[in-house]
Structure 1
């Protein structure tokens, strides 16, 4: 039997379109995903990105839950540096109260990562070359440190946090989230604080990570499921899953490690058509890598008019090379390679095309090939 296959949706905004258009397409895609047999439907959290409408996962998930019946829904991921543990638990507790037993609370670091980036500036990058492991391409690593340490990011952080606030350490946030879900928090004087709704919510906690750092280790130490990002940081996916498994301690949640791995895919009837549909991906990634935030996904006319420089191609080479593009069989074969090389227990795919019908059809073709 194939491992479960799920969807990560960024609610992409298209060139010439609006956030409202993107969000309505997300609702439509979620309904189709349920019909196609996908296991989970996750939405991302991104801020200050002209090309992405998914900024508030809990709000969006409530809308998706209202138009679907049974598919599991989740966040990929709530950025814990931007809000308190209580607000996160209350938001997802409210969702669970209305639609019991359907939600995955995926958690990620955010402000904490920027602190590390500041210390990494000027340090020589670790020596690494593109290589292949068990058929899976592991490209040269890309450093996000200059972007995270930029003045532009500092502006974003100022708007995302209360004045003078500092993001708490990730383990402390996780401790508080787990405590609020389990029951009241009590101080030394016996005062109780309860998350209502939230306490006792039937949520599945996940931790997402793009390296073998703190997120992977915390997921393992707590015995929680872990989602590794091949689609964001393909160079570090093996490092991430190895760190998670090495740190894993059995828990009441899991007796053994459980890993989900993500991938960018575009599927069409044949390889050539799929390559045409995926042509805008490089330009879209380039806007992210230059620090401008994801631009609205470019139209075919914009893609045809763009003249690439060698420097631009080099900036996005790792993401373009690790996008799985082709016929259903071609992409399914590449996903099997990803699953084999990482030992993934589940796979999570994300797709962006300019035409919504092509995007829905891509997921339909892949589901039919993968699930039979």
Structure 2
């Protein structure tokens, strides 16, 4: 049986365009995604770069208002940048008007311990897919698992550190991730007490029909916590292809049944570009490496370049992003469906999450439409 397919949207800004247009594009894609049969529409949170999804909780409300049935969520709220009360009240406000449709995805980004992807050692018994000694790329049933990216290769971290300073109150210290997840859960459930023992109730927010998710990219704290709490888990293969499979294994190893889930539930993400044929798709995706290169150098995601005019990456530039290029699924619908099916088999994913970035909005719409048709989403929706 084919698993559900969902969309992750960063609201990318193309060169020569604006954030305002990117947001309009997001709303249009969400409406189309609902028509095409996608299961969820999730919004990323990134700051001070050329994407328009920085305020994912605000954008979530706009997308919920523009759609009728599709689940809408965040992928993920960076807990270190927000108080627990602000998150729960924001979701509670949207849920009050669009009840039962929201997914509150949370992640470690924004916490000091999460700087540049640092994670605790994986739980004992979880063996990394890629041997840490040889660091050789592994291919499982056609799924490429490169060595995890070494964040020390990012030479300039000044922009990232400056963004942390701008996103945190001066002198404030973000809570530890586990502690803040506990706060969010308590506020939703109505069991929250302050440090002084005072009972506080989020209005709106308490009792909201919101599904809580944990996002992670390696076999560390996030995967283990999601498993221990019996929450659904999303593994970011599209960002961290070298460690996402380890994250899935760590989550399943740590899983304990809860009132929410009797068994593990895993979503795995992939970056895709679909076109009428493989050659066209490869051309549309040819500036993806430029985009990732900006991130990897520390400059952050820049405007997405026009493949008709952008110069190719140099050999040195390509080496910095070769893992992401090798793990992007590009081609005709048949080609990409085959690669997604392999990813689902290898990870045992219960659902797949696709993100597709293209310079032209029409090409991004077409990418998602072609994939939806080839995956049989509309037929499943009709049934």
TM range, smaller chain: over 0.9
Alpha-carbon spacing, 1:241–1:148, altered in 2? closer, same or farther (3 Å): farther
- What CA distance in whole angstroms lies between the structure 1 residues aligned with 2:284 and 2:188? 43
Q: Which residue of 1 aligns with 2:31?
A: 31
Matches within 5 A, 1:1-372: 1-49=1-49, 51-112=50-111, 114=113, 117=116, 126-127=132-133, 128-145=135-152, 147=154, 150-186=157-193, 191-303=198-310, 306-371=311-376, 372=379
Query: TM-score when scaled to structure 2?
Result: 0.91
What's the secondary structure of 1:235's corresponding residue? coil
- What CA distance in whole angstroms lies between the structure 1 residues aligned with 2:307 and 2:147? 29
Q: How far 1:112 sits from its partner (Å)?
A: 2.5
Alpha-carbon spacing, 1:244–1:364, altered in 2? closer, same or farther (3 Å): same
Cα contact 1:147–1:153 (8 A) shared by 2: no
- What CA distance in whole angstroms lies between the structure 2 residues aligned with 1:30 and 1:116? 31
What's the secondary structure of 1:360's corresponding residue? helix
Query: TM-score when scaled to structure 1?
Result: 0.94
- What CA distance in whole angstroms lies between the structure 2 residues aligned with 1:119 and 1:193? 34
Q: How far 1:190 sits from its partner (Å)?
A: 6.1
Q: How far 1:20 sits from its partner (Å)?
A: 0.1
Dislocated runs of 4+, deviation >6 Å = none
What's the secondary structure of 2:52's corresponding residue? coil
Q: Which runs of 5+ in 1 are unaligned?
A: none
- What CA distance in whole angstroms lies between the structure 1 residues aligned with 2:33 and 2:118? 42
Q: How far 1:299 sits from its partner (Å)?
A: 1.1
What's the secondary structure of 1:65's corresponding residue? helix
- What CA distance in whole angstroms lies between the structure 1 residues aligned with 2:375 and 2:281? 17
Please give the per-residue CA displacement for 1:246-289, whole angstroms capped at 9, x wherever unaligned: 00000000000000000000111111111111111111111111
Cα contact 1:260–1:345 (8 A) shared by 2: yes
Cα RMSD (Å) of the superposition?
1.9
Cα contact 1:117–1:149 (8 A) shared by 2: no
